[in-house]
Structures are given as structure tokens and as C-alpha cells.
Structure 1
């Protein structure tokens, strides 16, 4: 991976300072985020400086509202790959702890973004979205960032909202709402690519294999939970191959309740995937998760689901 990941903002070598950066949470790296990064990229080119992205780990919501349901749209690895594809050179993962949370908007800019010989990123440019908020109490804004840029000597770009033909603004909240409503194609339009769940394949009951449709089981963990049910899918293997399939996202009410997981049947595929990391795209929602009266009824429905999913995803292969 060409992208360099930097953890923290103190004691960095000069090679990791002085970038033109985009600032935000960038969960999902959706088309609105891409506009913020594109403007920072123009500045990086003009200034002949690396292009950086500044974000936080964990997401501030985890510190302030730890009891909220899972909401993430991507793992750090997925985010890094998406940013690298956009030409980002450095990803700054700033620890969002109680120290960071205590910084007012001015202190955040002065200490973290600008800094001195011992700390800070020494940014040359900061790209933000029109709705940026930063600092304790979320008092910082795009206009305030412009003022700080003039004071501390860095340029600022502000990306205007990006919207679809109906005027709906692209946002991470819009992606989450679309997924929870069972509209992965709408989420994909906002993201600019299908939403995907990545994780390690775990051993399950292996009931699917006994019934004729072996599945690769991945825990949902910190992801936002899309509408439970059956999806047409595409799965990317560690070696880069992409395999069409059908997946159940749910709790298995027919065969024994489990934690929410994605169980994917990869079509025309029979290799051992246990312990490997898979990334499965949700392409189309087929039906809600159901509880069947018998295993026979379950098998019949799974075969109908598979036929429907094949018609949607397999022609591309």
C-alpha cells in the first residue's frame, strides 16, 4: 500500500508534516467526502506538498455516546483503501481521547493542525466540508477555519454540498438510512460504490454445507446493521477474485438465534475460507429474514433466493 498511515500528531518527523489535508470523519468516503478530498488534492498539487486526510480514531461518537448502536460504514482498512484510490498520500489517525475532546476550536487548530517544533501537523492547506464542526462543543465551522487559515498561514477550501438529481445531499447519515431501509442501491449511489462488509470467516454450525449451500460466515461487529434479510452479493477474496453469491444478514431464527452475521453462499465455489478476510458487497435486497416451519421450506426458499440473486449479479461474470 502506497498510503502511509500516521497515528497521532506529536513528535512527527518532518517528512510527515506540512501536507495539504482534508479534515473530517470520512466514514464511508462517500461522494461528498470525495469532493472535500478533491479540493485538497488541487491545493496539494499547487503547493507541491503531500495530500493528507486527517480523521479521528475512534469516531468521536464512540467517546460521547458509547451506548449508541453500531454505526460505522467501513473498517479502517476499507477506509485506507478508498483513500489511497483517491490519491491520498498520508492518513492521519488522530486519537480521539479526553485530551483531544477538551480542545476548543482555536486550540485544535493551533496545537494539532499547526503546532510547533514538538507537536502538530504543520499543515499548508485544510480542506473541509460546508458543514464541518470541530473543537469542544463543536463550535468550529467552515467560516471559522477560513479565519484561522488567514491567521496561521494556511489556505482553506470549503466543499459545497454534493447532491443527487432530486436535490438530496450525499451524507453518511443518508447511507445509513438507506441501508437500514433495505435500499443498498441507494446507499451505493451516495457512496459511489456498493456498501461492503469486511471480516474474518468464522466457523458456524456448518448447517448450510450439510443442506447443499455452504456459507462463509462473517460477524457484523461495529458496522451499521442494514435491514435484516437476504441480499444478492459480490465477494472479494484475499487474492482479488470476485465471486457472486447470495447472503443472509440476520440472526438465523429458523436454526437457532445467533449474533447478527452475514452468511454468504458463494456461487460455484468450493474452497476453504476459514480464517480469511472477505469483503462482501450488498448489491440488492431480495426479502426480509424469515422463520420457516421446516428445514425443507428453508431449503426451497434459499434455492429461490439463489436463482434471483444469480439473475442480478452472475451475468457480470
Structure 2
């Protein structure tokens, strides 16, 4: 499982233009890398192997926002990792640098040849490119893997295309960001975490809620997640990391609180054996296990009884779960 994050973001860049000379001329992995899951890591490992053999930097080139969100803003992608988290994971995986190229009108209009020339040759000065076997690029996805390989032969850089990565436990299925999103939408945290090779996490600033939990003896730290979040509504065993790096076990509910107001979705985390005010603090919540679906209770007393049971279930799950933290 991926270890605790130790890197910094000093080598995270927002464009291929202006990249420092020490990071040019390297081996570049290209992709969206949402989640930095097992399949992505196969691409990164190949990138690192080639870079070490040739004694050049290893970099990852990705895009923000997700191209599907750019083209269909009314249906934004449920992101497994935001830009900052993704960059941190890529650097922690061994990349010497990460470039999050803005996916805007200008990039969308670029021909495949313009993309290769501007970003790969002029900006990155690549010596080798590593990408998925189905990598397409440029206007209307006109750039194909064959074009990339031909361009590399003509302009002096190598190209390695990586086949889809099969799930080690289900060899007939591939590991993909879409599959992980589907698992999370079904509450299947175990599968999502296995394919991510770490607990799925979300980050945000604690906001003030209706204080219903406090009246029930379960005060919570509340996060508003992006509207496109498709995590199944329900109760989870979680760990919450505070801004100071401390990690705390807890139980969280994500949903609309049907027993009370059936309002907008909110992630409400009760931290075990903790008292304090977290309002306004940036926190990260790691999902270690699914407990049950959200449901409406006939009374507050019935809800509290179930919350007691949920807390016991969460403690049992967390006893078996090694902590993983992010900086």
C-alpha cells in the first residue's frame, strides 16, 4: 500500500512553458491520472525505469480540469483526486516533476501536431514518452498512438505504450478511474481502496452545520463535498487528519439527513475520544470501510442507538486498517 506522503509540491508546475532546464529532456508519462491508481502506477513505474536507465528526469504531464469536465461542464467528472492531491501522489510515486497543463479553449483547439511540437518538444524537450495504449490527443482526439510513435521516430524521442492494467484479483477486469468511481457510488470502499492501493480520501474546510449531532451527543466536523461527488450516501469508518498532521479515528455519514431535514449532501464526521472546535480548519478524511446505507429513523432515540452501533462497527474496521496520511 502506498506509504505516507513525504514529498513537497515545489516541483509541481502549471504549464510546460517555463519548465526549469533541470527537468527538461526527461522521460514523460502522459495521462489524466485521476486517482493515481494501480494502473497509473504501472505507467509511472515504466517511466521511472527508463529514466533511471538513461539518467534523465522522470515527469508526469496531466491536465486540469479533467477534459471531460471541460467539454461537458454540465456533467462534471466525479474526481478521485483534485489537482493538488494528484500532484502530491505523483511526486510521492517518484516523479521528479509534475506538470498540470491547463485544459482550456486554446489546448482544445490545438492540432495533434501542434500539441506534440509545443508541449513535448519545445516545453518538455522530451527524450521519451510513456502513455497508455489508447492515448489520444489534439483537436477532436486526432492524435493517435501511431502518430505519437511516428512523430517520435521523426523527431528523435522514444515512445512506450502501456497496455491496460488487469486487476490482480479479477484478471478479466481492468483497473480504471471509471471503475473506482462506480465502486464508490455503490459504497464498495473495499474495491475502490484496493484499486487505489490506499484509502480513498476527500479534503476540505470544516463548516458549521445545524449542530444536530451535538444535541444527540455526536458532534461532527462537517465538509461540503463537490456537487459532482457520487459517493454512495451512507455511513463509513474513517480517519480524519487535522491541519497539524494528527490523525483521528471516527465514523462519518455522507448524505441528506433524512431523519431531520433531507437537505443538501454533507459529510459529517464524528471523531472518537475528541473534544475541540474544528470550524474553519482544513482537514482530510480517509475512508476505510462501508458500514451501512443512509436511512430515515422514526425517532432521534432510534438514530442515536444506531449511531452507537455504527461507532462500534467503525472501531472494529479501523483496528484492522493501517493509517495512511497526507501532507
- Pick aligned residue for 1:231 from 227, 233, 236: 236
Q: Is 1:278 paired with 2:283?
A: yes
4+ residue stretches of structure 1 with deviation over 6 A? Answer: none
Match of 1:138 in 2: 141
Q: Is 1:59 paired with 2:66?
A: yes
Unaligned runs of 5+ in 1: none
Match of 2:115 in 1: 108
Contact in 1 for aligned 2:66/2:77 (Cα 8 Å):
no
Q: Is 1:174 paired with 2:202?
A: no
Match of 2:225 in 1: 220
Q: Is 1:159 paired with 2:162?
A: yes
- Pick aligned residue for 1:128 from 122, 126, 131: 131
Q: Is 1:254 paired with 2:259?
A: yes
Q: How far did 1:16 drift?
A: 4.2
Aligned length: 313
Match of 1:18 in 2: 25
Contact in 1 for aligned 2:288/2:321 (Cα 8 Å):
no
Match of 2:86 in 1: 79
Q: How far did 1:70 drift?
A: 4.3
- Give deviations 1:168-192, integer Å, cap 9, x for gaps: 1000001001111110110111111
Cα gap change, 1:55 to 1:260, in 2 (>3 Å)? same
Q: Is 1:312 paired with 2:317?
A: yes
Cα gap change, 1:222 to 1:125, in 2 (>3 Å)? farther
Contact in 2 for aligned 1:163/1:170 (Cα 8 Å):
yes
Superposed, 1:181-196 pairs within 5 Å as 181-196=186-201
Unaligned runs of 5+ in 2: 1-7, 323-327
Cα gap change, 1:113 to 1:315, in 2 (>3 Å)? closer
Which one is further off, 221-230 or 304-313? 221-230
Q: Is 1:294 paired with 2:299?
A: yes
RMSD of aligned residue pairs (Cα, Å):
1.8
- Give deviations 1:232-287, integer Å, cap 9, x for gaps: 11222223322221110111122223322211111112232222222112222111
Alpha-carbon separation, structure 1, partners of 2:19 and 2:313: 53
Contact in 2 for aligned 1:3/1:89 (Cα 8 Å):
no
